[in-house]
Chain A
Amino acid sequence: MTELSKTGAAMGEPTSSPSNAPDAFLAVRDLKVHFPTDDGLVKSVDGLSFEVEKGKTLCIVGESGSGKSVTSLAIMGLHRLGARGKNVQMSGEIWLDGQELVSADPDEVRRLRGREMAMIFQDPLSAMHPYYTVGNQIVEAYRVHHDVNKKTARKRAVEMLDRVGIPEPDKRVDNYPHEFSGGMRQRAMIAMALVNNPELLIADEPTTALDVTVQAQILDLIRDLQKEFGSAVILITHDLGVVAEIADDVLVMYGGRCVERGTVDDVFERPQHPYTWGLLGSMPRIDRETSERLIPVKGQPPSLINVPSGCAFHPRCPYADLPKGDVTRTVRPELQPVGSGHFSACHLSPEDRTRIWTEEIAPKL
């Protein structure tokens, strides 16, 4: 890892970064987030780059421990808060609308957080404060960034609750989080996140804790709101069904790195990485009659302390022996373009990949 790691405690000056601001609305470049622990350095995110444009939805998929959530917290600047901040090493660049965030002053990031970028968490019950009414929490989020009186802010809160489909918002605004059902809580959290019209919305497993019927409601809501506000959305999930429903672009993470990135069609129609094949093969499908067995990925997800050498996926990859020599075990594959806007980090030759996908994997799905 590079040694320009900054700890949260040592605040960098507003950026004088050598690279110029990118065109994309959000651009993440070579992001690394490492946590020193007694057992060793946990490389949760280890060199991740991607871009999201306004009005587009990027889905980040991967198993638990692949670094999805850490990435989102890093963009929000939440790793650098409080005691936790002393214990994280971050490097790389995060450009939001022309402003670099990794080296930015935490106060500056705080001004952006909530206003320019907002986040929805998986478990709305623990993400909301149980002692304050839902309305109070939305009002607070609004007044932090807007110089308005309580009455105006409250009106805004009711308006937002109404917008996300909470019935009788003028009464519900005075309820406590525990008085809401799971789906309504998630709606309220979306209302809270969107109260300042952020241009970037990060949703970390927003529907994992919900029933399918409610999940469908929430996904529809996120989609509608995105159309209305034109914001960029990053949605983190492990459910490829959700990805297929909502994503424009997909980023597949494994062991803290991106193994495949492309449009939703690229990733589902012509995936170019054995791990993506594994994910697709592991999923039981509701839309097809399959009496065949699922094709699981063998083995366990890697430890982020001792990430396997070479390609991190090689111990679980059924094709690791195909490339000549022991390149899969010694050389870490870089993301290579495999199509327009489609990237994959794999040592397999393009011919092999196409052959394996079309002949071996696709027919079994």
Chain B
Amino acid sequence: MSETNKTEAVKVGAAAASDEREVLLRVEGLQKHFPIRKGVLQRQVGAVKAVDGIDFEVRKGETLGVVGESGCGKSTMGRVITRLQDPTGGTIHFEGKDITRLNTAGMRPLRRDIQMIFQDPYGSLNPRHTIGGIVSAPFRLQGVEPEGGVKKEVQRLLELVGLSPEHYNRYPHEFSGGQRQRIGIARALALKPKLVVADEPVSALDVSIQAQVVNLMDDLQQELGLTYVIIAHDLSVVRHVSDRIAVMYLGKIVELADRTSLYEAPMHPYTKALMSAVPVPDPKRRGAKSERILLRGDVPSPISPPSGCRFHTRCWKATEVCRTTEPPLAELRPGQRVACHHPENFEDQQPQDTVLLSVAKEAAELVPTEEAAEADGSEENPEASATDDKK
């Protein structure tokens, strides 16, 4: 799948934004705030800004990967674009139709086209229903009578995802994690959806099984022409499956680019830090890593996100402008959108602003080699900055 898309993305270059491929899903200014209520009157005292204004589009036949640390809003985003939760702001267009405010009845016909695969293969299958019952539920709910009957179709689906048709009458507990995930995939594919949103589809599985499911999703995409939005925290998996990747931080997309540009020349410091933190399964690289960025501290709270650029409390390049002004998500290079005042691998957007914030000096540790890590082994604590600065 990916080889062609990739070369295409590079070739199309300037026209990447208006790729000839049709836009299936367009999201603009999407917000999801969860109110925090307190007191007898349950007055709203604040909000968890899980998703706070994001824009992107998903084109037909592609895979959009969404990565970020836990709490960055990626799962909420997945639930909002499938309308499992209602957005508090912004719009969602599916095939050109505004689905932001559709009610349950209005959404029902669209449920065929948008399906979801969940993370936990244990929690997402009803233990009291047979596999046949679970996978045929979409047909019952939508009143669809497939050719040759429901049972035959379900058995075909089970075969499609690598299970045996004899599993029809079994219960979820009889299956292993990987097999359950296949059942979840069969259910999602039952109605031939156009868009499949997969929230951490493989993170609960063992590596060898993970590879089986990744390959399966890959095959199904080619066979059925599916469009995927894959939400995951594992950057290696996302790199493997995605054509384009969105990096989220505290409810915002900080970088959105095709896979090659993102992994080879990440522009947002956060993307860079995130990727340098991924352990590489190659012991020879241990000392050879040219530059490793070790972010300090944790992600700030989405209840009161930092002003300006949300990453400025942990960024080693943060300056005054980062604290005061929020950088727009701008297309700096064709097909690569970045929200940063001082991007990596690109010219500075705010060159006049050079004085680093005091937190920036302590925000991250740049570890050039193993030896350096050894040398400064004892200074470990100036982490206070990251978590407490925002107050």
A residues in contact (CB < 8 Å) with B: 63-64, 162-168, 181-184, 211-217, 219-221, 223-224, 227-228, 238-245, 247, 264-265, 268-269, 278-287, 289-291, 293-298, 300-301
- Is the CB–CB distance between A212 and B208 below 8 Å? no
The binding surface of chain B is classed by DSSP as helix
CB interface residues, B 197-229, toward A, < 8 Å: 206-212, 214-215, 218
Segment with Cβ contacts to A, from B35-43, B56-64, B380-388? B380-388
Q: How far is the CA of A289 from the CA of B264 in the complex (A)?
A: 10
Taking A162-B381, A268-B281, A286-B235 as known contacts, 18 extra A-B pairs with beta carbons closer than 8 A to each other, sorted by chain A number, are A64-B177, A164-B380, A168-B388, A182-B70, A211-B69, A211-B299, A213-B273, A216-B277, A217-B294, A240-B281, A243-B281, A265-B284, A282-B208, A283-B236, A284-B236, A285-B281, A287-B285, A296-B209
**Given A213-B295, A284-B236: A278 touches B279 (CB 8 Å cut-off):** no
- Is the CB–CB distance between A220 and B206 below 8 Å? no
Q: How far is the CA of A212 from the CA of B236 in the complex (A)?
A: 11
The binding surface of chain A is classed by DSSP as helix
- Is the CB–CB distance between A184 and B298 below 8 Å? yes
Q: How far is the CA of A84 from the CA of B383 in the complex (A)?
A: 41
Name the CB-closest residue of B to A215: B277
Residues of chain B lying within 8 A (CB to CB) of residue A296: 208-212, 215
Residues of chain B lying within 8 A (CB to CB) of residue A181: 298, 387
Residues of chain A lying within 8 A (CB to CB) of residue B20: none
Q: Say how far B244's CB is from chain A's closest CB, in angstroms.
A: 15
Name 21 interchain pairs, CB-CB below 8 A, sorted by A: A167-B387, A181-B298, A181-B387, A211-B233, A213-B69, A214-B69, A224-B373, A224-B378, A240-B281, A243-B281, A244-B283, A245-B279, A285-B236, A285-B280, A286-B235, A287-B280, A295-B211, A296-B210, A296-B211, A300-B179, A301-B176
Q: Say how far B222's CB is from chain A's closest CB, in angstroms.
A: 11
- Is the CB–CB distance between B70 and A238 below 8 Å? no
Whether B152 is near chain A, meaning CB under 8 Å from some CB there, is: no
Whether B166 is near chain A, meaning CB under 8 Å from some CB there, is: no
Q: Say how far A336's CB is from chain B's closest CB, in angstroms.
A: 23
- Is the CB–CB distance between B233 and A212 below 8 Å? yes
Q: How far is the CA of A281 from the CA of B273 in the complex (A)?
A: 26
Residues of chain A lying within 8 A (CB to CB) of residue B383: 165-167
Q: Say how far A48's CB is from chain B's closest CB, in angstroms.
A: 20
Name the CB-closest residue of B to A279: B207
Interface centre among A228, A240, A264 (most CB of B within 10 A): A240
Q: How far is the CA of A279 from the CA of B206 in the complex (A)?
A: 10
- Is the CB–CB distance between B176 and A300 below 8 Å? yes
- Is the CB–CB distance between A286 and B275 below 8 Å? yes
Residues of chain A lying within 8 A (CB to CB) of residue B285: 244, 287
Q: Say how far A122's CB is from chain B's closest CB, in angstroms.
A: 14
Q: How far is the CA of A261 from the CA of B206 in the complex (A)?
A: 20
- Is the CB–CB distance between B178 and A300 below 8 Å? yes
Contact indicator per residue, chain B 282-309, by CB within 8 Å of chain A (1) or not (0): 1111100000101111110000000000
Q: How far is the CA of A239 from the CA of B208 in the complex (A)?
A: 11
Q: Say how far A348's CB is from chain B's closest CB, in angstroms.
A: 19
**Given A184-B298, A238-B207, A286-B235: A291 touches B6 (CB 8 Å cut-off):** yes
Residues of chain A lying within 8 A (CB to CB) of residue B280: 241, 244-245, 285-287
Residues of chain B lying within 8 A (CB to CB) of residue A182: 70, 298
CB interface residues, B 352-376, toward A, < 8 Å: 373-374
Residues of chain B lying within 8 A (CB to CB) of residue A64: 177, 206
- Is the CB–CB distance between B381 and A214 below 8 Å? no
Residues of chain B lying within 8 A (CB to CB) of residue A284: 211, 214, 234, 236-237, 239-241
Residues of chain A lying within 8 A (CB to CB) of residue B206: 63-64, 238, 301
- Is the CB–CB distance between A220 and B211 below 8 Å? no
Cross-chain contact of B283 among A63, A164, A238, A268 (Cβ < 8 A)? A268
Name the CB-closest residue of B to A298: B212
Name the CB-closest residue of B to A64: B206
- Is the CB–CB distance between A241 and B279 below 8 Å? yes
**Given A211-B70, A285-B236: A244 touches B282 (CB 8 Å cut-off):** yes
Whether B377 is near chain A, meaning CB under 8 Å from some CB there, is: yes
Residues of chain A lying within 8 A (CB to CB) of residue B284: 265, 268-269
Whether B3 is near chain A, meaning CB under 8 Å from some CB there, is: yes
Q: Say how far A11's CB is from chain B's closest CB, in angstroms.
A: 37
Whether B130 is near chain A, meaning CB under 8 Å from some CB there, is: no
Residues of chain A lying within 8 A (CB to CB) of residue B382: 167
Q: How far is the CA of A268 from the CA of B281 in the complex (A)?
A: 8
Residues of chain A lying within 8 A (CB to CB) of residue B378: 224
Whether B110 is near chain A, meaning CB under 8 Å from some CB there, is: no
Q: How far is the CA of A76 from the CA of B362 in the complex (A)?
A: 39
- Is the CB–CB distance between A282 and B207 below 8 Å? yes
Q: Say how far B178's CB is from chain A's closest CB, in angstroms.
A: 7
Q: How far is the CA of A223 from the CA of B287 in the complex (A)?
A: 14
- Is the CB–CB distance between B278 and A241 below 8 Å? yes
Cross-chain contact of B211 among A183, A221, A282, A291 (Cβ < 8 A)? A282
Contact indicator per residue, chain B 140-178, by CB within 8 Å of chain A (1) or not (0): 000000000000000000000000000000000000111
- Is the CB–CB distance between B263 and A286 below 8 Å? yes
- Is the CB–CB distance between B373 and A220 below 8 Å? yes
Residues of chain A lying within 8 A (CB to CB) of residue B273: 213
Name the CB-closest residue of A to B298: A181
Residues of chain A lying within 8 A (CB to CB) of residue B377: 224, 227-228
Q: Say how far B335's CB is from chain A's closest CB, in angstroms.
A: 17
- Is the CB–CB distance between A242 and B279 below 8 Å? yes
- Is the CB–CB distance between A220 and B214 below 8 Å? no
Q: How far is the CA of A126 from the CA of B233 in the complex (A)?
A: 22
**Given A228-B377, A244-B279, A287-B285: A279 touches B208 (CB 8 Å cut-off):** yes
Interface centre among A183, A265, A279, A284 (most CB of B within 10 A): A284
